[in-house]
Amino acid sequence: PSAMREVMVQAPNVGWDDVGGLDEARERLREGVELPLRHPDSFRRLGIRPAKGFLLYGPPGTGKTLLAKAVAREAEANFIATKSSDLLSKWYGESEQQIARLFARARQVAPTVIFIDELDSLVPARGGGLGEPAVTERVVNTILAEMDGLEELQSVVVIGATNRPNLIDPALLRPGRFDELVYVSVPDEAGRRRILGIHTEAMPLAADVDLDALARRTERFTGADLEDLVRRAGLTALRRSLDTGMVEMADFEAGLADSRASVTAEMERDY
Ligand code: ATP
């Protein structure tokens, strides 16, 4: 069976307001992606060549996909999300065709942000990769050739993401490729507070709910962990009473008892 997939173009529905914390990553993407996509002529006038490829790296659940979608939306660009395992096919030549279709579609609907998740799965040889060495090597080469071909266009930007930056094939990191590295960290206390605010926005909170205190008590929680905590608190409130109109601090306490940070201090040190 062929693994060829349709290339889905999305108009992303999240923007900077949906991203909590991550101020530095956001700023880098604003300058590096949003500005050049929105104002290509200004860049052209000054003879500045914008970067073509960004690599977002950091622990899982910290908002890499969210950032890529948000920058696409804010740049008024289309968004195409894919992941390495979608591009790898054991059928000879099919991976290359899939990548060619991906970039062709991106150019067709430009300005476009292409998001490639699991970029570390494209490691040839040495194992760790999903595919056979020969396949991953061809896939890497095809992506690089497509990115090299983006030179004059400047209206297609590629954002890759990985949890394991040390596994990335160095060929992908050379100048003109994924040469802008952006660390997407677990949020600090202020970031956690903002994320809790975002994910409780549509939730009626009782007066005793203290989001500042929750932000203090959720060290190393990622955005995804915090979103999950809010969901658990909501479910606990429902379990208390289907008629309840409010989520209370006790519901968050119960949620907290069932949750913990998915990122350990040790994992964090490794980045
Ligand atoms: P992975 O490495 O596993 O692909 P990721 O870093 O791409 O993870 P996302 O998929 O962007 O993480 O995050 C998962 C969900 O967690 C998001 O859809 C969002 O709801 C929530 N989330 C994560 N980070 C943030 C953040 N900084 N602000 C608000 N919500 C966040």
Measure 138 CA to ligand 1 centroid, in angstroms: 30
84 lines ligand 1 (CB under 6 A): no
Backbone angles phi, psi at 56, to 5 degrees: -90, 125
pLDDT of residue 228: 97
Measure 27 CA to ligand 1 centroid, in angstroms: 17
Average of per-residue pLDDT across 193-202: 97
Helices (H) and strands (E) in the chain, counts: 12, 5
pLDDT value at 159 more than 70: yes
Average of per-residue pLDDT across 246-270: 91
Q: Which of 91-95, 131-135, 190-194 has the lowest mean pLDDT?
A: 131-135
Measure 67 CA to ligand 1 centroid, in angstroms: 8
pLDDT value at 126 more than 60: no
Q: How many residues does the chain have?
A: 271
Q: Find, among 105, 83, 231, the residue nearest to 162 by Cα.
A: 83
Q: What is the pLDDT of residues 62-101, one digit of tens each?
A: 999 999 999 999 999 999 999 988 888 777 788 889 999 9
206 lines ligand 1 (CB under 6 A): no
Q: How far apart are CA 3 and CA 196, in angstroms?
A: 39
Q: Which residue has the tokens 């040889």?
A: 125
ipTM over 0.90: yes
